[in-house]
Structure 1
């Protein structure tokens, strides 16, 4: 199955868990936790239901070793968009006729989703100018910089493994905590997810929080300059949290994530993180990355030039005996 969060996936996994030791192993694939050019392969659940934390603890944090190398397979937003439009167009034209009892899982239907993207496209010049101003403000700031990367509000990592709150509520809680507890010279960067359809108007929500020049909303542009000078990253469970850890940056996790482990993330309350972020243990980070590469990723992608590579590597991995099962 692609991911584990959709209702049909969750029902299937619940049924299999009910079979106990007699259950066949469910295999889950997704875009890799480590990117680019890697496909995730795990069993029984991902994110908050992943086997990875328990398996890593059971391994005794093995020494860093060779794992699946990533590859920069050429990406194409146009190809991605064409596949998406083709899929939804077929559903709109024939889905109700051929599968009348199917229930969609997405919070936003394709018409509303595409309306958001059209609006983003029409506003592209204004968005680029705003992104340039945000980048300039971040570069000019002389105090500590903290990053809060927004995820997609309808992503199952938020819906199933977040804090139990809507993303808008989480955003406001993070900003309120920053305003009350961060050093006076600190800057909070709220970064919009690149695949966000723009319908939530996150920038407006950030402006209305009342933090003034203590917060910057970033929609577009590279995240590298922010990460390069960040004092810490706060996340629900984004892969950007794992990216921060691999760069040696302190990371505070609000939800359930595979990397929310001692020695990797900054433990304790969010209120204390702003003034005393704790960097991860470098040896444990290296061991965790090698563990992920070796046991849970294969080279490839789901479309484009990396699709055949990915299919071949997935077939090889699925032909192996399943890994031991751990309680989630």
Structure 2
């Protein structure tokens, strides 16, 4: 047995595109815990390999009543969900808080590529992980050193196959789940067509991007780097005031045009999974013309993030995990919206207008402590896109839940420390009881 903690009755809601949650449940069952499941779509059914699952097939408006009824007739004292800002999961978190039920939120790892996240209550700007450097150093002193290098290598093929599987089984069982509210913005046909087009042009784009990168670095051009995110990313949809990346690019470019050195360029680097390239290029072109900086605003579709960071004057992002690469490279970093690494001493704490001239390099000692504290409390090793890695992540996640060590030691601040800054910057959380944690 892993621990002598009292047995839990755990409800699993929607997980990532794999049997990850089912594997976590398997490990928990061996430790004497009881597991439950609610399915929202056909793929949820297929990914769950245990008895006792129930289907939610009603309209989304009925979800809160359905869940409340389910909880009334069970003894659930913990809920596990992936992506705490999905519609169903926001409602579930609200109901859980009202009933004093623990919520465990999973996500892809803050540390990439072979980590997964497991936190109490919520992630990102609603995370309870501390922002106080002193607290971070204290945690780091209590947890093991981080093993360098990638252990579990994922594959694009595995990711694509999980996506196709999701679409196939949801289509197959559509009549059983006629009201399912998918958290994706685009149709799968649009995404897959974009991915296919991207794969066909991948080598050509990579060659062009590398050539431009080498020119930038070789000629010692002065530039600031911006890591773009995907339009449908919950970091943009839920944790920023922007309607999309076009709005975010314009906001950053306006500040750059006003306040950055006139001999500097603003280089926008696309997300590796971007599939709206034509739309993005048109948006950047329109913004550059409107702000009268066509020679200073440039889109690069590829390139090496680490090299581009190292040679840049500074790195700007809305709230992308790519900021960790910039911090590791020792690059002055500005997170427009609060993210997990938005910590005094790591990221610039002033305004974006002031960053261009006043950005300072991150404290390397603090960054090492931050990574160690993060890995030791709310990260587990593994990946969804590797069979062994998925099993390892599930095993470690189950152990944290079973032993009651999620966010331990000391990485839980009762009021999410990033929430005030997010709200001050224009983010609204409709189910505002995020401030209250169980």
- TM-score, structure 2 as length reference: 0.69
Give 1:279's aligned residue.
Answer: 361
Q: Partners of 2:202 and 2:328 in 1: how far apart?
A: 32
Give 1:215's aligned residue.
Answer: 297
Q: Does 1:227 align with 2:318?
A: no
Change (3 A) 1:63 1:83: closer
Ranges of 4+ aligned residues in structure 1 off by more than 4 Å: 322-325
Report matched runs for 1:127-166 at 5 Å.
127-166=205-244
**8 Å CA contact retained: 1:148, 1:189:** yes
Change (3 A) 1:127 1:201: farther
Give 1:52's aligned residue.
Answer: 129
**8 Å CA contact retained: 2:346, 2:367:** yes
Q: Partners of 1:247 and 1:132 in 2: how far apart?
A: 19
Q: Partners of 2:239 and 2:374 in 1: how far apart?
A: 20
Q: Does 1:81 align with 2:160?
A: yes
Change (3 A) 1:110 1:93: same
Change (3 A) 1:199 1:16: farther
**8 Å CA contact retained: 1:181, 1:274:** yes
Report matched runs for 1:233-248 at 5 Å.
233-248=315-330
**8 Å CA contact retained: 1:68, 1:299:** no
Quote the RMSD (CA, aligned, Å): 2.2
Q: Partners of 2:294 and 2:125 in 1: how far apart?
A: 35
- TM-score, structure 1 as length reference: 0.90
What do residues 101-146 of structure 1 show as CA deviations (whole Å, max 9, x unaligned)? 2111111011121122233234445423432343233223424321
**Of the candidates 238, 262, 265, which is equivalent to residue 187 of structure 1?**
265
Deviation at 1:63, TM superposition (A): 6.8
Give 1:173's aligned residue.
Answer: 251
5+ residue gaps, structure 1: none
Report matched runs for 1:1-328 at 5 Å.
1-19=81-99, 23-53=100-130, 59=135, 61-62=137-138, 64-65=140-141, 66-69=144-147, 71-95=150-174, 97-124=175-202, 126-198=204-276, 201-208=279-286, 209-210=288-289, 211-304=293-386, 305-321=388-404, 322-323=406-407, 324=412, 326-328=414-416
Count residues in correspondence: 323
**8 Å CA contact retained: 2:235, 2:319:** yes
**8 Å CA contact retained: 1:232, 1:249:** yes
Deviation at 1:221, TM superposition (A): 3.1
Bigger Cα Rg:
2
**8 Å CA contact retained: 2:310, 2:326:** no
5+ residue gaps, structure 2: 1-80, 417-438
**8 Å CA contact retained: 1:45, 1:51:** yes
